[in-house]
């Protein structure tokens, strides 16, 4: 028998010709300066939001091919989320999350997109770590 240390192992997900596997791509803690909020000051002065995005693919070819073009480039996701979050102002985080999720489903064709938007310094008179909204969209 060969020495186990000498065996070549197939990477997880198989190699060429292997069936694509499901994948979850996550961006956590993307900090973006925006102008969202109910109050005039929030929309005028702006504030920092922290965004988390999850894109789920039922089948991801990159698990077999190891090619960037066969998956979703998380760097591109970050740029798209930041740009879309700064493109217009929404009064509620709920609307912002829905707009971002719809945009990401359309752009990347992910099967499920989850967006979480948090205000680490919300304009309320009580001490809280953050307020947040999370929304999940499924591709139809």
Active-site position among 36, 90, 103, 119:
119
Rounded to whole angstroms, the Cα distance separating 115 from 139 reads 14
Residue closest to 110 by CA, chosen among 67, 70, 56: 56
Q: Catalytic site residue 119? A: yes
Rounded to whole angstroms, the Cα distance separating 56 from 52 reads 13
Helix axes 74-87, 93-108, angle to 10 degrees: 140
- Catalytic machinery residues: 119
């Amino acid at each position: 028998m060969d020495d186990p240390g000498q065996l070549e192992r197939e990477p997880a997900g198989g190699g060429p010709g292997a069936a694509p596997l499901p994948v979850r791509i996550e961006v956590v803690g993307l900090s973006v300066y925006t102008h969202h909020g109910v109050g005039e000051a929030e929309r005028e002065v702006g504030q920092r939001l922290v965004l988390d995005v999850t894109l789920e693919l039922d089948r991801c070819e990159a698990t077999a091919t190891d090619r960037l073009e066969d998956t979703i480039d998380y760097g591109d996701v970050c740029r798209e989320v930041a740009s879309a979050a700064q493109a217009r102002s929404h009064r509620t985080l709920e609307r912002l999350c829905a707009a971002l999720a719809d945009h990401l489903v359309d752009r990347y064709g992910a099967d499920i997109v989850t967006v979480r938007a948090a205000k680490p310094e919300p304009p309320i008179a009580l001490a809280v770590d953050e307020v947040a909204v999370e929304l999940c969209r499924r591709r139809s």
